[in-house]
Structure 1
Amino acid sequence: MGQHENDLGSVFRGARSALRLTQKQVGLIVGYSASAISRIESNQMRPDLPTCLALAEALGIPAERVRGAAVPEGPVIATVASGYPPDEEDAVRRRQLLTGALAAGATAIVGEGPAHALSTVDLEDVLFLLPSAAPAPLAELAARTATARRAFTSARYNDLAASLPSLLATAEATRDAAGGRARQQASAVLARSYVLAAELAAKQHSDTAWAAADRALTAARASGMPVPVGEASRVLAITMRRSGRWSSAVHLLTREAGDLDTADPRTAAVRTTLLLTAAYSAATGGDRNGSLGLLDEAEADVERRPGSPDGLFTVEATRAQVDVYRIGALNALGTPDEAVKVAAGLNIDSMPTPERRARAWTDTARMWHALGNSEQTFTALRHVEQEAPQEARRPALRALTSDLLYGPGRPQGLREFAARTGALVS
């Protein structure tokens, strides 16, 4: 990545200091804890490219400075859109945006604001301070887990967060009280509960994703069932990628995919989802050949046997999913122009869940933003909000919305959208 690869943290630290922001305030803007920001600034944690770009947007650092160009000495405070020092009007807007983002972050934590604000549940409490619970019949526990999964796929993250403490505690108690085959089945349900916790933590950029993903994989392996192992491996790999360990993520995913029996339609579909996640992980590390090869392999799998891995899996193994991951990978590789044709042929309305449709519109928004088309970017962002209001309030989406406000030719209605989704407080 050039000169700044070993000292990217000082770039973020310098920009933050110039804006007179604390690590906690920056964390609120981008959805990270203060301790995570500290580790990033001290180069103890290496964030992936999307996270670097979100931090750059929040701190006013030109995107190319985290993509690969050498960083000059001293803080660089410039508009993301132009790469040049901001004029007085842009400086005022930046202060307003930072104030708004901070206020939005604080609102999400204290539980005030609109009903579609992000969850107020402390995920550390969810994982490390579980309530007391009695064992439950397996059928009842599976039904509760399915309900929690529907909350996730419907992008009702508040409902999921509220249900997790009791669900995890009950699943732990049920597993501990069971023996033999029943214990394996309870372990599978427990794994899936922790998968949902890890997916929610990833949405919030919370460090607790590590603990949830690790517990999910431990429980999944105890179940001896390939589908839960695939689910858990996927969320653990996502956590690895987000911490900068993209190559380890790819290795884990491809190893697990290679161990699956593709004669079974369910495990074949699991293999496809693992290949898709591996492809995006490789793209964030700049491995173009590896990423595109994995995408082609996943596409070939889908052509042979499309479908869903299981009723509790949160990703479908379909051609539409392959196309969404291809758009995301091409964005991460810095070639969004190659994704335009893919996006043109993608029927997002046909995708089965609000969370997946919102994900597709998010990747489309990032594509148009990288190409400098603010109108198309805003159109895609409005689709995100229509599909899943809580998705539009995620840190990465708020950062993208804020960046549009800096650029030329701001689309009509953008400021109101920014205020509504927490990127700007009037």
Structure 2
Amino acid sequence: MTQTQLGRACGYSASAISRVEAGALRPAEQALLRIAQALDLPLDAIGLGRPATLARDVTLDQEDAMLRRQLLVAGMAAAGVSVLPSASAAAARPDASARIVGALYESEPSAPMSLQQLKASLASARAHFAAARYQNLGDFLPGLLGSAHATREALSGRSREEAHACVARAWVLATELALKAHSDVAWPAADRALAAAQASGDPVVHGEAARVLAITMRRSGRPVAAVDLLRRTADSLSRGQGDVPGAVAATLLMTAAYTAACGQRRGAALDLMAGAEEAVDRLTSARFLPGSPLFTVDATSAQVDLYWIGVHTALGTPDEGVPYAARIAPDQLSTTERRARYGTDCARMWHRLGAHRKTFTLLRFIEQVAPEEVRRPALRALTADLLYAPVTVPGVRELAARTGVV
């Protein structure tokens, strides 16, 4: 749900919703009631003192719906509405993606380096992402982007194309970081990634950039266009030679399936997942180790199972995701970031099924394997939802305090 969509639902402009979220505007009581109705917020969470329970999320994108509810509660608290005894503003860490804003309009002054050095620097940034060290990645990216741009401008011919690919992948990481924080920076970062990928002439890098752009499109309420982009790019990669393009195509089909599911297009989502599963099976039979050559994603059977969980949860059939969750051992997933994603998707599945204790157990798992991941806005929103669960779950309030929710 975008600010514009929420504004239409409750009689506010998008800019007014933005001011409410920022704590600069306190809505009147009738407006608060409309906001609560639109977002399925309990009335006591926004200071109206009338206890209610959270309804299940049935939205375009569950993650963004939960985030928008949390933003409104936090913003209303800042505007003077009595909510949870919150210290979230003080406890929350700064948004790591904010460090890349400057790079969008003016690169950090940097000297060119060799392509070998640039690729090594890019690998270091990728390692931060894979290990879910988002603060470190946010600190590292401005310098990397500056060096990548300076290096590209100093080269020509095939070397320049390789530098374009490095620039594209640096912006892919910037987009991934912005998406983790639900930051508007994701749109321009994804656009930069795609432009550099097209200039590189590398179809694999182009596929990686198209994927993050499609996610920003889905987050902005354009799931149909996002699925179309992912399908076309996957088809193009499938016609190429080698297993790496096929692996990237499989990841695009998985992303397209989840996007279709968020748009409640069940038939398309299931068809796309079936296609992704077949593509990964072909890679496995070819004795290809899928995870290693890819940049920020995997094309493994465990990754397919993980996407099945997300697809069924988004479609409103989380019970159908349970068998897939049972098949995954977290250590099958190649990176800390993917293991945290396993915890996130399973937590959402159990939350939709009303299994609050299992949801909490998975949030604790995420906190243990990737402490920065559990502080993401979407996971803080999930923690906040558990505080209003009809069953008290021991340890939730302590987790909420550690992650800046209360």
Q: Same fold (TM over 0.5)?
A: yes
Identify which of 260, 264, 267 aligns with 1:282: 260
User: Alignment length, in residue pairs?
Assistant: 360
Q: Distance in 2 between matches of 1:140 and 1:299?
A: 37
Q: Calculate percent identity across the aligned residue pairs.
A: 49
Q: Distance in 1 between matches of 2:254 and 2:263?
A: 15
Q: 1:346 to 1:94 in 2, by over 3 A?
A: farther
**Within 2, Cα distance between the matches of 1:58 and 1:24?**
8
What is the deviation of 1:94?
7.5
Distance 2:345 2:390 in 1: 22
Distance in 2 between the 1:370 and 1:100 partners? 27
- 1:101 maps onto 2:88 in alignment: yes
2:32 equivalent in structure 1 = none
Deviations 1:359-379 (A, max 9, x none): 111000001111111100000
Q: Distance in 1 between matches of 2:283 and 2:97?
A: 40
Amino acid at match of 1:190: V
Note if contact 1:308-1:315 (Cα within 8 Å) is conserved in structure 2: no
Query: Are 2:307 and 1:325 equivalent residues in the alignment?
Result: yes
Specify the SS of the correspondent of 2:87.
helix
What is the rounded CA distance, in whole Å, between the counterparts of 1:25 and 1:120 in structure 2? 21
Aligned partner of 1:293 in structure 2 is 271
- Displacement of 1:422 after TM fit? 1.4
1:9 matches 2:7: yes
Determine the C-alpha separation between the residues in 2 that align with 1:420 and 1:137: 43
Q: Does structure 2 retain, via aligned residues, the 8 Å contact 1:233–1:256?
A: yes
Structure 1 CA distance for aligned equivalents of residues 144 and 67 of structure 2:
33
Look up the match of 1:191.
168
Q: What is the correspondence of 1:171-250 to structure 2 with a 5 Å cutoff?
A: 171-250=148-227
Partner of 2:53: none
Q: Which letter maps to 2:363?
A: L
Residues 378 and 414 in structure 1, CA contact (< 8 A), matched pair in contact too? yes
Gaps of at least 5 residues in structure 2 are 26-34, 40-58
Tell me, in whole angstroms, the C-alpha distance in 2 between the residues paired with 1:158 and 1:49: 25
User: Which of residues 125, 131, 146 is equivalent to 1:169?
Assistant: 146
Q: How does 1:34-113 map to 2 (within 5 A)?
A: 48-56=61-69, 59=72, 95-96=83-84, 99-104=86-91, 107-109=92-94
Q: Tell me, yes or no, if the aligned pair for 1:152 and 1:355 is still in contact at 8 Å.
A: yes
Change (3 A) 1:389 1:309: closer
List runs of 5+ in structure 1 lacking aligned partners: 28-36, 61-76, 78-92, 110-117
CA contact 1:201–1:207 (8 Å) conserved in 2: yes
The answer to which of 334-343 and 248-257 deviates more is 334-343
Q: Note the alpha carbon deviations across 1:360-419, whole angstroms, 9 max, x for none.
A: 110000011111111000001011111110000000000100110111222211111111
Which piece of structure 1 moves more, 50-59 or 224-233? 50-59
Q: What is the deviation of 1:23?
A: 2.6
Determine if contact 1:12/1:55 at 8 Å carries over to the other structure.
Answer: no
- Quote the Cα distance in structure 2 between the aligned partners of 1:103 and 1:47: 31
Q: Secondary structure at the match of 1:334?
A: coil
Q: Distance in 1 between matches of 2:69 and 2:109?
A: 43
Alpha-carbon contact 2:66-2:378 (below 8 Å) kept? no
1:316 to 279, 285, 298: 298
Q: Is the 8 A contact 1:48 1:243 kept in 2?
A: no
Please show how residues 149-160 of structure 1 align to structure 2 within 5 Å.
149-160=126-137
